[in-house]
């Protein structure tokens, strides 16, 4: 059989065993299970101890690269797992010395949610290399490649692989329209070629790329450059496998996949069906299906530990809403969760309506971390606090930064009215910058070292604090035993999971009777589409903290019932206290920022609102707050 027109697969010798002849143009495969895979399916909670049992096997497969680090792993590990991200990199390298490692780097955002100063970017990239990283997939949420410059220099100086990514986003259901069309992407690819990238990634983080659009894009890109093209797509909308297949026909060089148990839903197409589909063609992967299946079997063993993190009750494994709203799946579920947390789920339709408008107002930016959060949270704010469309009554700090140019150049100009409103009283000034954002940021590393002193023992520790000042310090206190790691952050064991499941089974069959006054935890279980709530005895439930939270809420509720503007600072959204700038007894003015708190990864500055004296402070840096919690009480001046 010969299919040689337009890249359609060509059959070679039909020899399906392991020693089959090499294909003339084998597709190269990156395995992303240990980074993007569990980031999508288990909220990035995969633990190193569950990766070690498969690490050596994965290293034997012959993948082009293994994405094992970067993206959200750095944040999730130090915040939710009490694991040192640097240590994971070193440990995995020991078990997987053969296959190159790759990481996802958010350009000047590094592995955080804002642009950091150049010295932090330089030090972070250098330490990533020193700890074992080989390939850097660098992206910028605005596709503003000036934000690659500093990272790229360090990568190149160390002779490591610099992969530049173009974020794929849409404003229509398919490629086209005025903004994100073929011209846009070809221009972006050319910019990367001119920067001297070693390879190019077309990064479709939301699973929006349709098969024929992928086919045409790859073919057009191939006409302008010989630089290898790596397609990164997600299964989310259900098109992932089709899109990969058409891209392979079009001549894409590298694709990203996951091993079966870590594939599909909002994750990636699975590698196994692709290996079989391409057998005996000119694009044969050359991979051994039996070897991969053995890894999948071992991975399956550990999955029950993470099942509680997957609360998708749907039967369908795809979500076509991402196409209907041109929005990453995570962003849609965040919108739902945020409105739910504020008892405003009834305003969801309003959220869907406003989201494209907010995105347009903010320059029609691509939606990927952190712009997806920036647009998402501002949409929630507009839903909750605006009395008319376009009011922007409550603008987040990140939107102000975006309007000032601190993230880079937006795809289209920001709405001038919104921009003006955002930059009123903006500390850096009301005229936006045109330069590369990093060039206006003062060095930060020395300051971070100061903050970390007494806790950090090396530069890697200091970098954790530089990127995550509050949770980073908390992590170092756990790491060096100054503070106990909370029980709920410790790993779940299989026997623990088994016990829970037995209890759930018993509860469902009515065998379990109510019992005692011990700490109990509620579990939501879904059986055949029906939800049950069961309570189990659970030493992990933090009863004291819950009680404290309840009493704060009670106080806050009373306060809410009084007239506003009385110096009672109440959390309007759930989040975490980053900084309390005043102590009991301090004098404050109405315009002064007294508390900074993080909600949905965005910073919110809370002003005193009245001139007066601080009477009560109920939370400290690092504490979680719920909606309605009283944070600070200020006694107004007479
Ligand atoms: Co991804």
Q: What is the pLDDT of residues 196-221, one digit of tens each?
A: 999 999 999 999 999 999 999 999 99
Could you tell me which of 173, 176, 230, 181 has the C-alpha nearest to residue 207?
Answer: 173
- Centre of ligand 1 to C-alpha 439, Å, is 29
Residue 208: which CATH number?
3.20.20.70
Do both 84 and 206 map to the same domain? yes
Q: How many structural domains compose the chain?
A: 5
- Centre of ligand 1 to C-alpha 221, Å, is 21
- Centre of ligand 1 to C-alpha 392, Å, is 31
Do both 130 and 264 map to the same domain? yes
What's residue 548's pLDDT? 39
Residue 294 placed within a domain: no
Question: How many angstroms separate the CA atoms of 21 and 98, rounded?
Answer: 23
- Centre of ligand 1 to C-alpha 204, Å, is 7
Residue 289 placed within a domain: no
- Centre of ligand 1 to C-alpha 608, Å, is 41
- Centre of ligand 1 to C-alpha 9, Å, is 27
Do both 516 and 485 map to the same domain? no
Do both 389 and 347 map to the same domain? yes
Residue 310 placed within a domain: no
Residue 601 placed within a domain: yes
Residue 278 placed within a domain: no
What's residue 176's pLDDT? 94
What's residue 560's pLDDT? 37
What's residue 514's pLDDT? 45
Beta strands in 275-327 (DSSP E): none
What's residue 116's pLDDT? 96
- Centre of ligand 1 to C-alpha 206, Å, is 8
Q: DSSP class of residue 29?
A: E
- Centre of ligand 1 to C-alpha 60, Å, is 24
End position of a domain, from candidates 273, 305, 335? 273
CB 537 within 8 A of CB 515: yes
Residue 386 placed within a domain: yes
Helices first, then strands: H and E counts in the chain: 22, 18
Coil, strand or helix at 255: strand
Question: How many angstroms separate the CA atoms of 60 and 158, rounded?
Answer: 26
Angle of CA points 558, 564, 568, to nearest 5°: 65
Do both 180 and 116 map to the same domain? yes
- Centre of ligand 1 to C-alpha 352, Å, is 23
- Centre of ligand 1 to C-alpha 601, Å, is 19
Q: What is the pLDDT of residues 52-81, one digit of tens each?
A: 999 999 999 999 999 999 999 999 999 999
Do both 255 and 371 map to the same domain? no
What's residue 220's pLDDT? 98
Cα 136 off chain centre by: 17
Do both 455 and 433 map to the same domain? no
- Centre of ligand 1 to C-alpha 233, Å, is 7
Q: Both tokens of residue 338?
A: 């945020």
Domain that holds residue 480: 445-489
What's residue 433's pLDDT? 97
- Centre of ligand 1 to C-alpha 367, Å, is 12
pTM metric for this prediction: 0.82
- Centre of ligand 1 to C-alpha 329, Å, is 11
What's residue 549's pLDDT? 45
Do both 85 and 108 map to the same domain? yes
- Centre of ligand 1 to C-alpha 337, Å, is 21
What's residue 532's pLDDT? 54
Q: Quick one: which H or E segment has residue 167?
A: strand 161-167
The residue ranges of the chain whose pLDDT is under 70 are: 1-8, 11-19, 311-313, 507-508, 510-565, 600-602
Do both 465 and 603 map to the same domain? no
- Centre of ligand 1 to C-alpha 433, Å, is 30
């Amino acid at each position: 059989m010969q299919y040689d027109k337009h890249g359609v697969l060509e059959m070679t010798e039909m020899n399906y065993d392991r020693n089959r002849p090499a294909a003339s143009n084998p597709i190269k495969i990156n395995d992303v299970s240990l980074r993007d895979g569990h980031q999508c399916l288990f909220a990035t909670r995969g633990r190193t101890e569950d990766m070690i049992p498969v690490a050596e096997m994965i290293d034997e497969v012959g993948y082009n690269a293994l994405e094992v680090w970067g993206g959200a792993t750095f944040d999730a590990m130090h915040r939710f797992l009490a694991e040192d991200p640097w240590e994971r990199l070193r440990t995995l390298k020991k078990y997987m010395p053969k296959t190159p490692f790759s990481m996802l780097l958010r350009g000047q955002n590094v592995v955080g949610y804002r642009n950091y100063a150049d010295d932090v970017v330089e030090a972070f990239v250098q330490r990533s290399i020193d700890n074992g990283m080989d390939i850097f997939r660098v992206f910028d949420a605005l596709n503003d490649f000036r934000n690659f410059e500093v990272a790229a220099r360090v990568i190149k100086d160390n002779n490591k692989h610099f992969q530049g990514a173009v974020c794929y986003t849409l404003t229509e259901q398919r490629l086209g329209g005025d903004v994100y069309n073929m011209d846009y992407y070809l221009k972006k690819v050319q910019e990367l070629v001119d920067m001297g990238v070693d390879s190019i990634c077309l990064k479709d983080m939301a699973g929006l790329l349709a098969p024929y659009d992928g086919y045409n894009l790859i073919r057009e890109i191939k006409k302008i450059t010989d630089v290898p093209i790596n397609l990164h797509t997600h299964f989310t909308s259900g098109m992932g496998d089709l899109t990969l297949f058409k891209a392979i026909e079009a001549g894409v060089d590298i694709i990203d996949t996951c091993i079966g148990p870590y594939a599909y839903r909002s994750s990636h197409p699975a590698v196994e069906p692709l290996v079989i589909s391409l057998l005996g063609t000119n694009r044969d992967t050359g991979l051994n299906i039996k070897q991969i299946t053995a890894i999948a079997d071992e991975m399956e063993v550990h999955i029950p530990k993470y099942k509680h993190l997957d609360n998708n009750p749907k039967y369908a494994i795809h979500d076509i809403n991402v196409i209907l709203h041109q929005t990453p799946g995570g962003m849609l579920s965040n919108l739902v969760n945020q409105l739910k947390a504020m008892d405003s789920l009834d305003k969801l339709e309003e959220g869907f309506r406003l989201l494209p408008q907010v995105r347009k107002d903010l320059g029609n930016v691509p939606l990927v971390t952190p712009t997806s959060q920036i647009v998402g949270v501002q949409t929630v704010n507009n839903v909750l606090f605006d009395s008319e469309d376009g009011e922007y009554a409550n603008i987040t700090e990140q939107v102000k930064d975006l309007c000032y140019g601190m993230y880079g150049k937006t795809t289209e100009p920001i709405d001038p009215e919104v921009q003006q409103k955002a930059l009123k009283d903006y500390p850096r000034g009301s005229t936006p910058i045109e330069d590369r954002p990093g060039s206006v940021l003062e060095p930060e590393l020395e300051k971070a070292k100061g903050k970390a002193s007494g806790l950090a023992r090396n530069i890697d520790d200091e970098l954790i604090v530089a990127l995550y000042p509050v949770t980073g310090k908390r992590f170092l206190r756990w790491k060096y035993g100054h503070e106990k790691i909370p029980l709920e952050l410790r790993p779940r064991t299989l026997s623990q999971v088994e016990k829970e499941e037995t209890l759930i089974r018993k509860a469902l069959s009515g065998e379990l009777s109510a019992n005692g006054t011990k700490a109990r935890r509620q579990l939501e279980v879904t059986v055949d589409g029906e939800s049950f709530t069961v309570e189990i005895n659970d030493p992990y439930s933090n009863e004291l903290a819950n009680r404290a939270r309840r009493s704060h809420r009670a106080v806050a509720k009373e306060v809410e019932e009084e007239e506003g503007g009385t110096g009672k600072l109440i959390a309007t959204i759930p989040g975490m206290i980053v900084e309390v700038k005043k102590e009991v007894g301090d004098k404050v003015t109405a315009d002064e920022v007294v508390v900074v708190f993080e909600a949905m990864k965005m910073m919110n500055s809370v002003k005193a609102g009245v001139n007066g004296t601080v009477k009560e402070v109920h939370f400290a840096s690092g504490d979680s707050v719920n909606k309605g919690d009283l944070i600070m009480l200020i006694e107004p001046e007479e």
